[in-house]
């Protein structure tokens, strides 16, 4: 295992980059994965407590979510200049998730690159080929999968909270809660969650879970483990960003000065560096505002502690009473009359 890690890190190839102990030692760096079951509850309580503040609950809950994220949370750097398009990660991913994978040899067939492919319910990751303008003989390969956003839109959108942003940074889906409404697919800016359209009973939302099962056993994500070209660097998010900056600094001619995912939609766990502009690699151009955007602020603005609805109720009640009172010209006691036969006629 340590050998694999050494290989991964050696891709950084930098004397300045001193990997921390936790990076070299997967078990150690992953220990925190095991004691985060209560995150949901804590997150909820924190959000609720902060909610007392005011209408600004939207921005407050962003802070609350950040706090529950571990400082050691996972990051993966995809170095598109190192990827050779062998698609071994696709095979490993399918195998690890019990999806029909076929033989590894079949993945050397390059004809699949003719068509742009997206991850789907049978393949949680997909590699695509792009033209390299600097060197046409060396195409650029880009692996696509869930970005595991720091503040994910899918988690914010899910009607029943079936999607969870875990302390370790991964975003996972819960079979026990999901009602199959597919609002997560509407919300995701990277269009990652997919759905099992041809199942009537128990259709799943399928997306990369950062190999939660493998990591609970102390293993690396399947794609990271199998990558023969050291294109995937796995470690703490903060360390991975440092490594990426270092790579760019050392080879300014190879890389453009942009780590995709460092700031996009408030940051993502999976980040990319490349020699090409990211829009040429069909990566969506997104701002630095968090993915749920203003929808949470609107939502909490309308509801703010149930004050607006209750106020409206009181206002309408008063109107009902006043119009009624005007009708009776102030004769008698309108308060007692209120629920009289006029309402009964409804």
* Sites of contact with other proteins (CB under 8 A): 47, 61, 116, 118, 120-121, 153, 156-162, 177-183, 185-187, 189, 191, 194-200, 202-203, 282, 284, 286, 291-296, 298-300, 302-303, 309, 312-313, 316-317, 319-320, 323-324, 326-327, 338-346
Q: Identify the sign of the CA torsion 37, 184, 272, 225.
A: positive
Whole-number Cα distances in Å, 87 to 16, 57, 64, 104:
31, 44, 38, 9
Q: Whose Cβ is closer to other proteins: residue 35's or residue 345's? A: 345
Q: Whose Cβ is closer to other proteins: residue 172's or residue 219's? A: 172
Whole-number Cα distances in Å, 204 to 169, 201, 314, 337:
22, 9, 44, 56
Q: Whose Cβ is closer to other proteins: residue 9's or residue 206's? A: 206
Shortest separation between residue 151's beta carbon and other proteins, angstroms: 11
Shortest separation between residue 339's beta carbon and other proteins, angstroms: 5
* Widest Cα–Cα separation across the chain: 93
Q: Whose Cβ is closer to other proteins: residue 123's or residue 233's? A: 123
Shortest separation between residue 226's beta carbon and other proteins, angstroms: 25
Shortest separation between residue 158's beta carbon and other proteins, angstroms: 6
Q: What is the DSSP letter of 259?
A: -
In a 10 Å sphere around its CB, with 0-12 CB exposed, 13-18 middle and 19+ buried, how is residue 236 labelled? Answer: buried
Q: Whose Cβ is closer to other proteins: residue 17's or residue 183's? A: 183
Shortest separation between residue 235's beta carbon and other proteins, angstroms: 29
* Alpha-carbon gap, residue 69 to 51, rounded angstroms: 19
- Written in H, E and C, the secondary structure of 59-107 is HHHHHHHHHHCCCCCEEEEEECCCCCCCCHHHHHHHHHCCCCCCCHHHH
Shortest separation between residue 291's beta carbon and other proteins, angstroms: 7
Q: Whose Cβ is closer to other proteins: residue 235's or residue 267's? A: 267
* Alpha-carbon gap, residue 251 to 204, rounded angstroms: 43
């Amino acid at each position: 295992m340590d050998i694999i890690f050494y290989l991964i890190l050696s891709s950084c190839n930098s004397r300045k980059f001193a990997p921390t102990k936790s990076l070299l030692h997967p078990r150690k760096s992953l220990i925190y994965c095991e004691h985060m079951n209560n995150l949901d509850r804590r997150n909820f309580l924190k959000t609720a407590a902060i909610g007392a503040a005011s209408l600004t609950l939207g921005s407050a809950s962003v802070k609350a979510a950040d706090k529950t994220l571990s400082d050691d949370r996972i990051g993966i750097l995809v170095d598109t200049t190192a990827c050779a398009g062998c698609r071994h990660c696709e095979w490993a991913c399918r195998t690890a998730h019990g999806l029909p994978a076929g033989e590894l040899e079949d993945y050397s067939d390059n004809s699949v690159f003719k068509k742009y492919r997206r991850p789907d319910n049978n393949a949680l990751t997909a590699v695509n080929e792009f033209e390299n303008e600097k060197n046409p003989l060396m195409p650029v390969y880009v692996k696509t999968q869930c970005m595991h956003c720091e503040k994910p839109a899918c988690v914010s959108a899910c009607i029943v909270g079936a999607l969870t942003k875990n302390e370790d940074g991964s975003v996972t889906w819960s079979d026990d809660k999901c009602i199959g409404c597919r609002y997560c697919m509407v919300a995701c800016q990277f269009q990652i969650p997919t759905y099992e359209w041809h199942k009537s009973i128990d259709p799943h939302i399928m997306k990369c879970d950062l190999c939660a099962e493998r990591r609970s056993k102390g293993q690396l994500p399947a794609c990271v483990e199998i990558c023969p070209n050291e294109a995937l660097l796995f470690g703490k998010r903060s360390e991975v960003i440092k490594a990426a900056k270092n790579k760019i600094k050392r080879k300014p001619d190879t890389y453009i000065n942009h780590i995709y995912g460092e700031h996009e939609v408030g940051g993502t766990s999976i980040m990319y560096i490349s020699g090409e502009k990211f829009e040429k690699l069909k990566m969506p151009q997104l701002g630095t505002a968090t993915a749920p955007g203003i929808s949470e602020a609107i939502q909490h603005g309308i509801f703010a502690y149930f004050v607006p609805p209750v106020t409206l109720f009181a206002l309408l009640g008063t109107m009902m009473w006043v119009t009624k009172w005007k009708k009776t010209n102030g004769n008698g006691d309108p308060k007692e009359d209120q629920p009289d036969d006029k309402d009964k006629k409804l």
